[in-house]
Amino acid sequence: MQRDTALFNLIHEELHRQRRGLELIASENFTSLQVMEAMGNVMTNKYAEGYPGRRYYGGCEVVDQSEQLAIDRVKEIFNVTYANVQPHSGAQANAAVMLALLQPGDTILGLDLSMGGHLTHGSAVNFSGKLYKPTFYGVVPETGLIDYTTLEQQARTHKPKLIICGASAYSRDWDYKRIRAVADEIGALVLADISHPAGLIAKGHLNDPCEYCHIVTSTTHKTLRGPRGGIIMMRNDFENPMGQTGPKGEIRMMSQLLDLAVFPGTQGGPLEHVIAAKAVAFFEILQPEFRAYTEQMLKNTKAMEAAFLEKGYNIVSGGSDNHLLLLDLRNKNISGKKAENTLVKADITLNKNMVPFDDKSPFITSGIRVGVPAITTRGLQEVHMPLVVNWLDKVLMDPDNDATIEKVKKEVNEFMLQFALYPEM
Ligand code: DSN
């Protein structure tokens, strides 16, 4: 077969882009080489509908073992008794949880997308807002912190079957205990979507959602530094409160409903090559080096927070407990959209983001989200954060000056090339 040079040239171009750029997208990271090796392999050829030991195809004896390794390792990381490693993404994980728990039209309560929430937590343009009846809580205007009082009021008023906590653009920890208390009061279940801070939770730097939330979902490619994908977990299994029964009339356990909701409910054949890469990432998380990584992420966020504050930037909630900062640029006279589009010209990538109570549309936005997972993997430390903030500030304060952008780009490229990325390639 002739080699597809067009496509492989693009992969090479993308590698070069990643090597020379400053990657500040809070949801991105760089996997290890062995995670990528595990992803590009013969397991992509295998059909394995079902679960280890109970598949619908022959020849699954090897992928049974690799999927079981992924399950066992993630259980150890989060100290849970149930894990499903098949969801193709975080969105798929959340879709499966909702399919397992809810009937169309049931009420759910989640963090408003415009306040830092996620599309799959009830947004009108997503399945979660179309199939179910979404209600929302937000953040306190003065502090930028989760408005637990409104969350409780909304829960008591609307009696959702499912309360969702977790966010895409929230830099503080969560009070899972308080959310569970109101859920118990109204008979709701709690889902924590920890896609963003999962790596920090894995190493005990943040509150443990598995203690209070019935079900926990996550992506595997953000702070967990694995391949693109999703997982569903429970610390303790329990009989499903909807009264769904199995073939012998027995009440089904939640683990059974969740497994059925992933396959055959929302997915077909699992991506066994990606599950293999998840197993490798979980192996890495269990090594001491990953603790050093998570500790460095926290140090880098704090150093970045201090550097932004020194330059007069407004950080939503005043700072961060995790791996990201949400900046409100309204006092800097530049929109999120312009900031994103200008910074990318200097090879600095991040994303525009709405800030709570934003007066601009989601296409323009007043803010940007800045994250440290990827640059921490590259090897940047707290001493480098003032330099990073300085580059951002130079561009943001002079966004129409091509000479400034060009100068910053050159400095960024020279600097980043000192931090090797996939030197083996
Ligand atoms: N796209 C993810 C993020 O950037 O946070 C959320 O799905």
Stretch 154-176: mean pLDDT: 98
Q: Is 232 exposed, middle or buried (0-12, 13-18, 19+ CB in 10 A)?
A: buried
Known catalytic membership, residue 193: yes
Q: What proportion of the chain, given as a percentage, has pLDDT over 70?
A: 100
Measuring from atom 4 of ligand 1, which residue has the nearest CA?
Answer: 27
Can you tell me which residue has the tokens 């050829």? 45
**Predicted pLDDT of residue 20:** 98
| Ligand 1 mutation target, pool 25, 28, 118, 349, most atoms within 8 A of CB | 118
**Predicted pLDDT of residue 126:** 98
Measuring from atom 1 of ligand 1, which residue has the nearest CA?
Answer: 27
Stretch 334-357: mean pLDDT: 98
**Predicted pLDDT of residue 325:** 98
Known catalytic membership, residue 222: yes
Stretch 166-179: mean pLDDT: 98
CA distance linking residue 31 with residue 227, whole number of Å: 7
Q: Name the average pLDDT for the chain.
A: 98
Nearest to 309 by CA among 389, 365, 387: 389
- 90 CA: nearest ligand 1 atom: 7
Distance 168 CA to ligand 1 centre (A): 6
pLDDT digits (tens, 9 = 90+) for 371-406: 999 999 999 999 999 999 999 999 999 999 999 999
Distance 349 CA to ligand 1 centre (A): 14
**Predicted pLDDT of residue 185:** 98
**Predicted pLDDT of residue 47:** 98
pLDDT digits (tens, 9 = 90+) for 105-141: 999 999 999 999 999 999 999 999 999 999 999 999 9
pLDDT digits (tens, 9 = 90+) for 230-282: 999 999 999 999 999 999 999 999 999 999 999 999 999 999 999 999 999 99
Distance 27 CA to ligand 1 centre (A): 6
Ligand 1, residues at Cβ distance < 6 Å: 27, 118, 168
Global pTM exceeds 0.85: yes
**Predicted pLDDT of residue 372:** 99
Stretch 204-218: mean pLDDT: 98
Measuring from atom 6 of ligand 1, which residue has the nearest CA?
Answer: 168
Helix 288-310 × helix 385-397 angle, to 10°: 40
Known catalytic membership, residue 47: yes
Stretch 25-45: mean pLDDT: 97
Q: Is residue 317 very low, low, confident or very high in pLDDT (cuts 50, 70, 90)?
A: very high
**Predicted pLDDT of residue 29:** 98
Stretch 311-320: mean pLDDT: 98
Distance 249 CA to ligand 1 centre (A): 40
CA distance linking residue 193 with residue 230, whole number of Å: 10
Q: Which of 46, 73, 203, 222 is catalytic?
A: 222
